Amino acid sequence: MCSQMGIFPWLPLLLYFICLITIFLVGYIPHEDHIKCSSGNTNCTISNVYRSFPDRSICRAAEVAYPTTEEELLSIVANATFLQKKMRIATSLSNSIPKLMCPDGEYGLIISTKYLNRRLGLDKSAMTITVETGMTLRQLINESAMAGLALPYAPYWWGVTIGGILGTGAHGSTLWDLGPAVHDYVIELRIVTPAGPDEGYANVRTLKIGDPELDAARVSLGVLGVISQVTLQLQPLFKRSIAFLEKDDSDLGAQISTFGNQHEFADFTWFPSQKKVLYRIDDRVPYNTTGNGVFDFFGLSPVSSFLTAVSRTIEEIQEYTGHAVGKCITGSLGRYILKKAGYGLTNDGTSFKGYPVVGYHNNLQSSGTCLDGLWTACAWDQRFKGLYFFQNGISISLYKAKDFIQDVQKLVALQPKALCGVDIYNGILIRYITASSAYLGKQEDSVEFDITYYRSKDPMAPRLHEDIFEEIEQMAVFKYGGLPHWGKNRHLTFIGAINKYENAGEFLKVKQSYDPLGLFSSEWTDKVLGLKDGITVLKEGCASEGLCICSQDIHCAPKKGYFCRPGKVYKNARVCTQLTS
């Protein structure tokens, strides 16, 4: 694992040396539990994997319950409903960035799906699998492959659960078939919802394909109740052939509309400041094609915690000294190393010899070996000085994507080094996603832009070129009507988001009928669903943190030279711009 360098570049020799030291110093690093209780299962705090919500608040709950069967889950929901306790659902992995897993107030109950992780059924001839909600994607891929079956499209990070995927609408990349969203392959699910006294305060509902309520439950933010079981439509396991091709980004806008039709698993990784884009040429091939490739993506593979700390420190120094050029150098070095190493692809599971890499779908579709680190961790592990960042995931309608890309390119022309900051985080990932029947799923065929960038540990500290990042973010959601990914993003991207969903009203009707008291709702879910005001908060420094769009200088950092100004390309944007006198 130490031969792999994770997301960050470093001199190989130094790396080797540091790895040796770290192995001795750190030892085994177990997986972190994100729910911590002071006595037994009561008086708890919960966080996400980044140990930080967008508003940096702490989340408390009176109690956490760990059901191991649907029956226990039913009894837990019944008891809490009887007591009118607020409930929210947490997964074992807690990947969501917004505060989705947090019940309101101090008396709430967290229902963890940690022990609901079994396979309940598998029908080889119908090609379906039924699993409990807490099963991880990794396990799901494995279980399916063992039976010669495959979930055709999935998130690239396997450290998520099926319940979490459905809750937030997580997806892979394709324009083909039913699209890349896992929720569109659900043919049946069971959900435990609150009920009245005559039904014992909770019941289990079975939703099947063709049932309009299934379209509410496919993407539900966990506000309808707790999904207990999910049945997915699979396909026969197949082989794929992957090649990455690096090109100039000048015609990226034009390519976006056609590339996704040419290749089933197409995506792009864009490095705007370096004017480069990586095309993923990725298709099914006949089953007898030779090859046993594996994709263990570098960004999700184990890294030495010491190395991550060094990288983070370098980035902090670059930020502090305003050294954008330094970021461009680290960024291009990183890109060079990744390229040489095939991004984590291997032709046979051990070494990369060249493209194309052919292999079984289950060995190529997702990865996340950093979760098994024996002496290493995931790069964002906050128990060490891991990466700490903002992440936008915004989908823009396919026919508007070209203009959006060209606007970003105009910004790069004005500020050539501004976006070197994303190179350090593997560039901007662009994935295809299709319109869904899910009420809170995508409305049109779109491309999702995942942009990850530096966040300061100090909420009052402005960031290098934050105006450019803020302008891109506001452009994406307001000028181009983009939809924020429910499990990512900063607060401002959710302003008015619910109004972009044609069937939001239908969703709310189902919510009202399943959980009339809103026991599964929280302040955050009420805000994003448009039931409560206050997605954004106006206070000192709020714009830097993404908690507001600036309207006054004080929302930026005027003492440090950052003032609220219009955007450079999208004039309606209001961004924190560094003014040098």
Q: Interface residues with ligand NAG (CB under 6 A)?
A: 38-39, 43, 45, 72, 75-76, 79, 142, 145-146, 286, 288, 362
Nearest to 103 by CA among 116, 91, 90, 114: 90
Which DSSP helix (H) or strand (E) runs through 508?
helix 504-514
260 or 344, CB closer to ligand NAG?
344
Separation of alpha carbons 152 and 440, rounded Å: 21
- Scanning 128-272, the segments in alpha helix (DSSP H) are 137-146, 162-168, 212-217, 252-262
CB of 345 to ligand NAG, least distance (A): 17
CB of 234 to ligand NAG, least distance (A): 13
- State whether residue 137 is helix, strand or coil: helix
Cβ atoms of 464 and 421 within 8 Å: the answer is yes
The torsion defined by the Cα of 27, 29, 30 and 35, in degrees rounded to 10, comes to 140
HSE (side-chain half, CA atoms, 13 Å) at 322:
7
- Whether the ω angle into residue 12 lies within 30 degrees of 0, i.e. cis, is no
45 or 332, CB closer to ligand NAG?
45
CB of 223 to ligand NAG, least distance (A): 22
75 or 552, CB closer to ligand NAG?
75
20 or 146, CB closer to ligand NAG?
146
Kindly report the length of the chain: 581
109 or 214, CB closer to ligand NAG?
109
Burial class (CB in 10 A: 0-12, 13-18, 19+), 93: buried
CA distances from residue 54 to 428, 475, 545, 564 in whole angstroms, order as listed: 20, 20, 7, 21
Helices 305-321 and 324-340: angle between axes, nearest 10 degrees: 150
- State whether residue 416 is helix, strand or coil: coil
To which residue do tokens 């900063």 refer? 490
145 or 408, CB closer to ligand NAG?
145
242 or 492, CB closer to ligand NAG?
242
CB of 146 to ligand NAG, least distance (A): 5
CB of 145 to ligand NAG, least distance (A): 4
Phi, psi of 356 (to 5 degrees): -80, 155
72 or 403, CB closer to ligand NAG?
72
Separation of alpha carbons 236 and 124, rounded Å: 9
Nearest to 408 by CA among 260, 298, 268, 280: 268
CB of 38 to ligand NAG, least distance (A): 4
360 or 432, CB closer to ligand NAG?
360
Cβ atoms of 522 and 86 within 8 Å: the answer is yes
Render the burial of 207-239: b for 16+ CB within 10 Å, e for the rest: beeeeebbbbbbbbbbbbbbbbbbbbbbeebeb
CB of 562 to ligand NAG, least distance (A): 35
- State whether residue 391 is helix, strand or coil: strand
Strand residue runs (E) in 424-561:
428-433, 446-454, 483-484
CB of 473 to ligand NAG, least distance (A): 34
76 or 483, CB closer to ligand NAG?
76
CB of 453 to ligand NAG, least distance (A): 32
Instruction: Tell me what percent of the chain is helix, strand and coil, each rounded to the nearest 5.
Output: 30, 25, 45
236 or 534, CB closer to ligand NAG?
236
Plot region of 489 (φ>0 → left; ψ -120 to 50 → alpha; else → beta) = left
CB of 287 to ligand NAG, least distance (A): 8
CB of 221 to ligand NAG, least distance (A): 24
CB of 80 to ligand NAG, least distance (A): 8
43 or 409, CB closer to ligand NAG?
43
CB of 79 to ligand NAG, least distance (A): 4
Cβ atoms of 122 and 110 within 8 Å: the answer is no
- State whether residue 202 is helix, strand or coil: strand
37 or 508, CB closer to ligand NAG?
37
25 or 58, CB closer to ligand NAG?
58
CB of 362 to ligand NAG, least distance (A): 6
Separation of alpha carbons 417 and 121, rounded Å: 53
